[in-house]
Each structure stands twice: as C-alpha cells, then as structure tokens.
Amino acid sequence: MQISKSFRRLIFLELSIPLALLTLGIYHGLLQTIYRAGVLQQPAFAKLDYYQGLTLHGVINAIVLTTFFAVAFGHATMAFYFKKEPNKKVAWFSFALMTIGTVMAAWAMLAGKASVLYTFYPPLKGHPLFYLGTALLIVGSWIPLFNWASMYVKWKRENKTTKTPLAVLGTLINFIIWFVCTLAVAYEVLVLLLPWAMGWTSTVNVTLARTLFWFFGHALVYFWLLPAYIMFYTMLPKLAGGKLYSDLAGRIALFLFLLFSIPVGVHHQYSDPSITQGVKFFQGMLTFGVAIPSFLTAFTLAASLEYAGRRRGSKGLFGWMAKLPYFDSKNYLFSYFICGLILFIFGGLTGIVNSSYQLNSVVHNTAWLPGHFHMTVAGPVFLAIIGMSTYLYSTMSGKRIFLPGINVIIPYLWMVGVLIFSTGLMWGGLLGEPRRTNLGITYLNSASEHFRPDWVPTTLLALCGGIIMFVAGMLFLVVFFGTMFRKKTSSSILELPVSEAYHDEKRIPLFDKFKPWLVVMGIVLIIAYTPAFVNVKKNAGPGAPAFEPSNPVPIENVSRK
C-alpha cells in the first residue's frame, strides 16, 4: 500500500527517536552487570551514579521504547488493514506530547534529579519535570486509541458481518488495557507524587502510591507483550511457510488479556503488610488466569510451526523443528520471532514461580526477578520491537537492509546472551543476591566485611551474558541506522506479512464485539481491587518523608546534620 510522506515521516520518527535513546539504555544495562560483578567498586562511573543509570536503563528501555513502538506499530497496522491512514493531525499531536514528555523526563534523569527507577518507588523523590514528563508521554499515547477507534467504528458500520482482522482486534484491545491501567498511574503522578515533588505536601502515602502503580504495572507488561503477540499470530506462521492453526484461538487469547491483565497487580505486593492475605490469594489466582492466554498461544503457535515444518517435508514427531527457516537473511523477521518465543518459554515458567504466593517469598526482591523479566520484556518483546522496526523502516523507505548476514544472527546472539545473563541472575537470586543493588561497593568487594564469595560465579555469569547482549544490541543499532544511510532502491510501501488461517472459524459475534468483554472486565476489576483499596485506606500508616536511593536516612534529616 502507498502511504503519504507525512505518515511515513511520523512512523520513522516514532521508531528512530527511542532507538537512538536505546544507546544510553543499552550502555547502562552493561554497566549494571559490571557494577554488580564487582568490576567497578564505586558508587558512580563517568559522572552518572548507579541508581541514575538504573533509572535511565529502565525508563528508556521499558517505558519510552515500548510506548513509542506500540504507537508506531499500531498506526502501521491500522493503516495497512483499513487501507486508510489515521487522522494525521491527531497523530502528530500525540507524537508531539510524547516527545516533549520524553525530553522533560530525560533531562531530569540525566541531571541526576530523578533517580527513582522506572517504578517511581516513593518515598524516593524525583524532580517535578520527571513526573510531568512521564505523564505527558502517557497522555500522548492515549490519543491514538481514539483516532483508531473512530476508524474501526466506521469500518464496522460498512462491514457488519466481516470478522475484525486479528491484528486490528489486538491493537484495540492493547490500547484499551493501556488506557484503563494508566488512569491509576496518572492519578498517582498527578495527585500524590507531583504535589509532593513541588513541595505542596510534606509526605507521601507510600502504600497507596504502590498499589496505584501496580494496578498499572502488571498490565504494562501485557501492553509490551501484545504487539509481539499480534506479530506472532498474524505474521509468524506465514514467515515459517505455513498457516495460523486457529484464528479463533487468537481472538480468545486476546480477549482473555482484556479480562485478566489488570486485576493481578497485587502479586507484586505479596510482601506488603498493608494488604490482607485474602486479597493476595484472590489476585494470585487471577494471575494464574492471565497465564492461560499465553499457554493457548504456545500451543497454537507450536501447531502452526509444526504445520509449516511438515509442509517443508519434515518427518517424525519433532522433525518440524529442524525444517524451519532459522537463518534466511531475506526472511529475518522469522529469526527475531523464534528467538523471542524460545526465551519466553523460560520467561513464562519463571513468571508462574513468581506468582505462586509461597514461592514468591523466596524470590521477591532478589536477582531472580530481573532474570525473569529479561526473558520476557528483553525476550519476545524486545526482539519483536527491533526486528519489526528494521522491517518497517526498510520497506517504508525502500532501502535495503545494511549487513543482512549480521542482521539475521543478531537475535541468536541476543538470545544466547539473555539465557546466560538470566541464568546468572536467577542462580544468584536463589542464593539471596538482591536486585537493584550496587554489589560492587560491598558484597562483591573482597575488601568488605560483607563480601559474599558465593555470589562471584553468579555475577560473573551475568556479566558474560551482559557483554554478549551488549554486542548484539550494538550490532542491531549499526544495522538499523546503517540502513537509514543507504540509498533508496525500491518504492516505499507499507506491507505487512499476513498469515492465512488453517482453521478459519466462522464469525462468532461474542468474539467480534468489545461491549460484553468490557462489562466483564469492569466487574472483575471492581471485585479484585475494591478490597485492595479498602485495605490500603485502613492500613496505610503515616505518610513518608523523602529518601534518596543510596541512603536509608530521610533527606531532611541528612540536610539538617
């Protein structure tokens, strides 16, 4: 499909701005592993301190990159399936808000005035511009939902009995989840954190802030995941040379995410004393519910890949695995997707460990956790984002990929790096190694009385994995920005791979309508979260003064001394 220059430019900017920032994000990822392995035994390096780097790493990689990409990919999906571009004035306005917000937050982080990590973590206190910036980024990313919803309503009016394309359904579901969950974090920022950061209130209600954050925080991970799932369902079977095993399975999985993505946030608060066991148990059960659409996805995708392998002439029970196009540089998206899926098998399994109430007390706040989430967000999510960014840029600019042979091995290098890195972290986590800690100053410093020799192999393993990931990340940036500097050789088009369905089930109205699912979503949310907020109101305790990450004494007491 041909697209306008303005739309093309918008998508290129939405892809390339966060990818340029990724250089900082990846650099601080590597530094984390260096500090933690005790190679650096100091609180700061190159004038940026440990927590400042950790904040930059989390905010750039997990919030800025993912949000910009979801919007860009959503625009491309809607335009491709509806054969019509979204309203461009509205789209540019949303981009402007997101960019201004990102610049504000980036300034606060780089100036060292907002080392509060991507989870905000009050009573750590950041500069007001950090909170305002992240709020603007979020509000800017709400706008496309309304832009796309009006396209969808118009299309549906003209195509009442046609099934909504799976990719469109997924994009709308994802942004509905995003809109609902971010209402809580918007409240946290605007009502609790911003007035506190401006000095209008002297303390902050930490329990309420955390509960509002996690109302948003777990749905956030599915907001990251769903663009990847859309690619896996609608593109991967075709790239593998087969068909999607069942279209209906994809629809069911997507609608289940609408029900279960949000009412599970308390599983991040199993250790919070203000929330009662009943609420934790109930949300723990719902967390097992949110794993169901992923199990459904695993079986559907495995069946689709098996079909592709058999079409390519495989024999035996598992022969199909050997027949897939792993190293085809012209079909490089396949390698990005398959590596993401392999990582997600382990990311998913460790997630189930986390969600099990009792097991969580073993792993909570240990290095196990970053082990888990690097096999999810830095697994299928990151690989789908970078693979699709290269694909969209190259097809929409009409430029050939720079270093295609390297491009196809990047995901394998990344996968090996993440597997080694996460093994080191999870092994360390089981030995009690804490997360979010500059281990080089104490536990990994042999001169310290706190030295832990049993954490030397675990942190070294994580360091090795981190170096491999860093190399893969840098190679990706070379390929992506190298492609930008190439000459245009073909016409610029918007073209997405589209898989046919093996079982293309008849349209079932329930799986083609939002209303009934939105009603059930509201009911589940009320049942899961009313008791949680009642708990918080009753048991919140006194407001907390501000702290800095490196000091257990409140800031005001430190400055009084």
Which positions are annotated as active-site residues?
A: 218, 222, 372-374, 435-436
Using CB under 6 A, count the residues that bind ligand HAS: 34
User: Applying CB under 6 A, does 359 fall inside the site for ligand HAS?
Assistant: no
From the CB of residue 191, how many other CB atoms can be counted at a distance below 10 Å?
A: 15
User: Applying CB under 6 A, does 291 fall inside the site for ligand HAS?
Assistant: yes
In the stretch 84-123, what mask flags binding to ligand HAS with x, by CB under 6 A?
A: -----------------------------------x----
Token pair of 486, please? 């190439």
User: Applying CB under 6 A, does 366 fall inside the site for ligand HAS?
Assistant: no
Token pair of 480, please? 């992506």
Token pair of 540, please? 């919140």
d(CA 164, CA 270): 39
* H or E element that contains 48: strand 48-49
Q: Which residues contact 95 (CB under 8 A, 6 or more apart)?
A: 10, 13, 14, 71, 140
What amino acid is encoded at 50 in this protein?
Y
User: Applying CB under 6 A, does 11 fall inside the site for ligand HAS?
Assistant: no
Would you say 234 and 169 are in contact if contact means Cβ atoms under 8 Å apart?
no
The interface region with ligand HAS, picked from 28-36, 295-303, 418-426, 446-454 by CB under 6 A, is: 295-303
Q: Which residues contact 121 (CB under 8 A, 6 or more apart)?
A: none
In the stretch 484-503, what mask flags binding to ligand HAS with x, by CB under 6 A?
A: --------------------
User: Applying CB under 6 A, does 133 fall inside the site for ligand HAS?
Assistant: no
User: Applying CB under 6 A, does 295 fall inside the site for ligand HAS?
Assistant: yes
Closer of 362 and 460 to ligand HAS (Cβ)? 362
Site for ligand HAS in 390-429 (CB under 6 A): none
User: Applying CB under 6 A, does 360 fall inside the site for ligand HAS?
Assistant: yes
Would you say 503 and 248 are in contact if contact means Cβ atoms under 8 Å apart?
yes
User: Applying CB under 6 A, does 66 fall inside the site for ligand HAS?
Assistant: no
| DSSP single-letter state for residue 246 | E
Q: Which residues contact 531 (CB under 8 A, 6 or more apart)?
A: 276, 278, 279, 282
523 φ, ψ (degrees, to nearest 5): -65, -45
User: Applying CB under 6 A, does 312 fall inside the site for ligand HAS?
Assistant: no
Work out which of 341, 386, 439, 501 binds ligand HAS, going by CB under 6 A: 341
User: Applying CB under 6 A, does 268 fall inside the site for ligand HAS?
Assistant: yes
SS3 assignment, position 548: strand
User: Applying CB under 6 A, does 163 fall inside the site for ligand HAS?
Assistant: no
Per the omega criterion (within 30 degrees of 0), is the bond before 123 cis?
A: yes
User: Applying CB under 6 A, does 221 fall inside the site for ligand HAS?
Assistant: yes
The interface region with ligand HAS, picked from 166-174, 294-302, 412-420, 507-515 by CB under 6 A, is: 294-302
User: Applying CB under 6 A, does 227 fall inside the site for ligand HAS?
Assistant: no
Left, alpha or beta for 132 (phi > 0: left; psi -120 to 50: alpha)?
Answer: alpha
User: Applying CB under 6 A, does 67 fall inside the site for ligand HAS?
Assistant: no
Work out which of 243, 251, 267, 399 binds ligand HAS, going by CB under 6 A: 267
In 3D space, the residue among 347, 170, 188 whose CA is nearest the CA of residue 244 turns out to be: 170
Q: Which residues contact 41 (CB under 8 A, 6 or more apart)?
A: 440, 441, 444, 445
Closer of 147 and 360 to ligand HAS (Cβ)? 360
In 3D space, the residue among 219, 263, 304 whose CA is nearest the CA of residue 500 turns out to be: 304
Work out which of 55, 174, 335, 354 binds ligand HAS, going by CB under 6 A: 354
User: Applying CB under 6 A, does 239 fall inside the site for ligand HAS?
Assistant: no
The interface region with ligand HAS, picked from 48-56, 328-336, 340-348, 450-458 by CB under 6 A, is: 340-348
Would you say 120 and 129 are in contact if contact means Cβ atoms under 8 Å apart?
no
Which residue's C-beta sits nearest to ligand HAS?
A: 348
Residues near ligand HAS, by CB under 6 A: 119, 221, 224-225, 267-268, 287, 290-291, 294-295, 297-298, 301-302, 305, 321, 341-342, 344-345, 348, 351-352, 354-355, 360, 364, 369, 372-373, 376-377, 381
